[in-house]
Amino acid sequence: MPVLKDLLGAIGNGVEIVDLTAPLSAGTPVLRLPEPFANTISFRLEEISRYDEPGPFWYWNNIHTGEHTGTHVDAPRHWASGRDGHDVSELPLRTLVAPAAVLDASDRVAQNPDFLLEIADVRAWEAANGALPDGGWLLYRTGWDERSGDEERFLNADDSGPHTPGVSAECARWLAEETGLVGLGVETVGTDAGGAGGFDPPFPCHHYFLGAGKCGLTQLQNLAALPPTGAVLLVSPLPIVGGSGSPARVLALVET
Ligand code: MN
């Protein structure tokens, strides 16, 4: 098929592959919920053998991880509003290979870490770039990826809770219910703002997107290397049967 041959020929010659994935290690920041809620474990390798007596010619590990660790996908079933929706093994392949719209609010987030995206901001983006892509993802650039190597700066919590950017409840409902998007991708530890536990409804991006059968994608990096439109997103969560989410390698194809 010439289209695929042309695509392979274009990679490195007009098309670039951008890695949007944060490295996965014991130092990868994870969500810290307050009491009385249960928390996920951090990522950890458990060595089985390393060219030694338990395995003289080979090195391998068991991995210990939560589903929602590092760069990861939230499947609809993650949230109470989406409990009857797809688990992470059931996501449509056309959701996992899809166009990406990139909205950059990093200048405003630099002034206010609690910045919330509003419908007017998305309308302004559409006026400049055209309609949001049907069947595509909105990737919300905030500049927060610069902090992802340092859990304290990444979670940015004080006595009043975490201060990280997100989306207003009104805008989350509108994006999830009145656009053709299949998902929302962010640079922060979750798709919702740090203060979103106090919104109405609580955690509106989770509530509305997952309730609409759509997905979330977190802790992305390198969104600065993507154009506002035209990138193709490749998302590869593990097909965990019954799973609510999965760490994922996320790549973008970009015309240079
Ligand atoms: Mn999650």
What does the buried/exposed string (b/e) look like for 127-138 if buried means 16 or more CB atoms within 10 Å of the residue's CB?
Answer: eeeeebbeebbb
Residue 12 confidence (pLDDT): 95
Beta-carbon neighbour count of residue 68 at 10 Å? 21
Give yes or no for residue 1 having a pLDDT over 80. no
Residue 159 has pLDDT above 90, yes or no: yes
Over residues 198-224, mean pLDDT? 98
Where do the H-state alpha helices sit in 189-248? 204-205, 211
Task: Kindly give the distance from the C-alpha atom of residue 246 to the centroid of ligand 1, in angstroms, as a whole number.
Answer: 8
Does the N-terminal peptide bond of residue 133 adopt cis geometry, omega within 30 degrees of 0?
A: no
In a domain, 5, yes or no: no
Q: Is the Cβ–Cβ distance between 47 and 67 less than 8 Å?
A: no
The identity of residue 27, as a single letter, is: G
CB atoms within 10 A of CB 248: 23
Q: What angle do CA 96, 98, 103 make, to 5 degrees?
A: 115
- 7 in a domain, yes or no? no
How far is ligand 1, taken at its centre, from the CA of residue 224, in Å? 22
| Residue-level length of the chain | 256
Note whether residue 160 is domain-resident. Answer: yes
Is position 185 within any domain?
yes
Distance 204 CA to ligand 1 centre (A): 13
Segment 86-103 shows an average pLDDT of 98
Q: Is residue 87 part of a domain?
A: yes
Ligand 1 centroid distance, CA of 255 (Å): 30
- Mean pLDDT over each residue of the chain, to the nearest integer: 97
CATH code: domain of residue 100:
3.50.30.50
Over residues 43-55, the pLDDT tens digits come to 999 999 999 999 9
Q: Residue 30: pLDDT band by 50, 70, 90 thresholds?
A: very high
Residues, CB-to-ion distance under 5 Å, ligand 1: 68, 74
Write the single-letter amino acid at 242. G
Pairing of strands 231-237, 245-255: antiparallel
Contact (CB, 8 A) for 237 and 84: no
Q: Considering the chain, what percentage of its residues have pLDDT values greater than 90?
A: 99
User: In whole angstroms, how far apart are CA 43 and each of 60, 62, 79, 183, 246?
Assistant: 16, 11, 22, 25, 12
Contact 188, 144 (CB under 8 A): yes
In a domain? residue 123: yes
CA distances from 126 to 53, 107, 138 (A): 61, 18, 12
**pLDDT, tens digit (0-9, with 9 covering 90-100), for 105-152:** 999 999 999 999 999 999 999 999 999 999 999 999 999 999 999 999
Task: Count structural domains, the chain.
Answer: 1
Is position 201 within any domain? yes
Task: Supply the range of the domain harboring residue 153.
Answer: 13-39+67-255
HSE of 71 in the Cβ direction (CA atoms, 13 Å)?
23
The residues annotated with a catalytic role in the active site are 78
Q: Is residue 133 within 8 Å of 229, Cβ to Cβ? A: yes
Mean pLDDT of 179-188: 98
Core vs surface per residue 21-32: b (16+ CB within 10 A) or e: bbebeeebbbbe
Ligand 1 centroid from CA 117, angstroms? 19
Average pLDDT (220-226) is: 98
Distance 218 CA to ligand 1 centre (A): 7
Q: How many CB atoms lie within 10 A of CB 11?
A: 11
Q: Which pLDDT does position 253 carry in this prediction? A: 98
Q: Is residue 61 part of a domain?
A: no
Given this model, what pLDDT does residue 190 score?
98
pLDDT digits (tens, 9 = 90+) for 205-217: 999 999 999 999 9
